[in-house]
Amino acid sequence: MGKTKKEIIITGFGGQGIVLAGRILGQSATLGDRKHSTLVQAYGPEARGGACSAEVIISEGFIHYPYVRSADILVCMSQGGYDKFISRINDDGMLLFDSDLVKVTGFSGKSYSIPCTRMAEDLGRKMMANIIMMGFITSITSTVSSEAARSTVAETVPKGTEEMNIKAFDKGYDYGVAVLKGIQKKAAGKAGA
């Protein structure tokens, strides 16, 4: 994980399962990986369609303040979320975003994109975009182990949808693995030139 503490903001709009994604991340860290975690959630004035965010802190040690001061990882699933929270990412922070819903401007740091909404639609369930994003977050950041995250997804989603949601998680995870391999190949090609 690099640092012993990671501050993460997941943002989007109501109805995307942003808070559920934050809960899965925090629960994976605590119950699966035996770390400490906090979750603070915020909704806009409207529940569905309004701004929504989940702030998660994961640490090897005690967490004394539950709010994210400066995000190490910012996950954006809506343009409004990106616009609102991009200023809260730290200088060496990492941005993960849904490439179908977010247009990145004014950010030159590390960023990784995934078309998670389109991938969820291809699976027949647009509502699983958050679970696909969870798989992507897990593979790109290694903030929680894939075993802990997969197990938490299975325990957290509605009964009867576990298999479908695990498939969605794996799709996002595998996409992240492919992205990282592509970056490694590109770097190896430059080093060999």
Question: Does the pLDDT at position 23 exceed 50?
Answer: yes
Question: Mutual orientation of helices 146-156 and 18-27 as an angle, nearest 10°?
Answer: 130
Question: Does the pLDDT at position 47 exceed 80?
Answer: no
Mean pLDDT, the chain, integer: 92
- State mean pLDDT over 105-126: 94
Residue 43: band (very low, low, confident or very high) from pLDDT cuts 50, 70, 90: confident
Which residues are 52's β-sheet partners?
A: 12, 43
Q: What are the start-end ranges of the H helices in the chain?
A: 18-27, 79-85, 116-122, 129-141, 146-156, 162-192
CA pair distance 78, 171, nearest whole angstrom: 20
- State mean pLDDT over 129-134: 97
Residue 109: band (very low, low, confident or very high) from pLDDT cuts 50, 70, 90: very high
Which among 51, 59, 48 is positioned nearest to 25, based on CA atoms? 59
Which among 75, 68, 86 is positioned nearest to 20, based on CA atoms? 75
Task: Please write the tens of the pLDDT for every residue from 71-83.
Answer: 999 999 999 999 9
Residue 32: band (very low, low, confident or very high) from pLDDT cuts 50, 70, 90: very high
Residues 6 or more apart whose Cβ sits within 8 Å of residue 147: 32
Per residue in 95-124, is it b (16+ CB within 10 Å) or e — as a string? bbbbeebbeeeeeeeebbbbbbbbbbeebe
Domains of the chain (ranges; CATH) run: 5-192 (3.40.920.10)
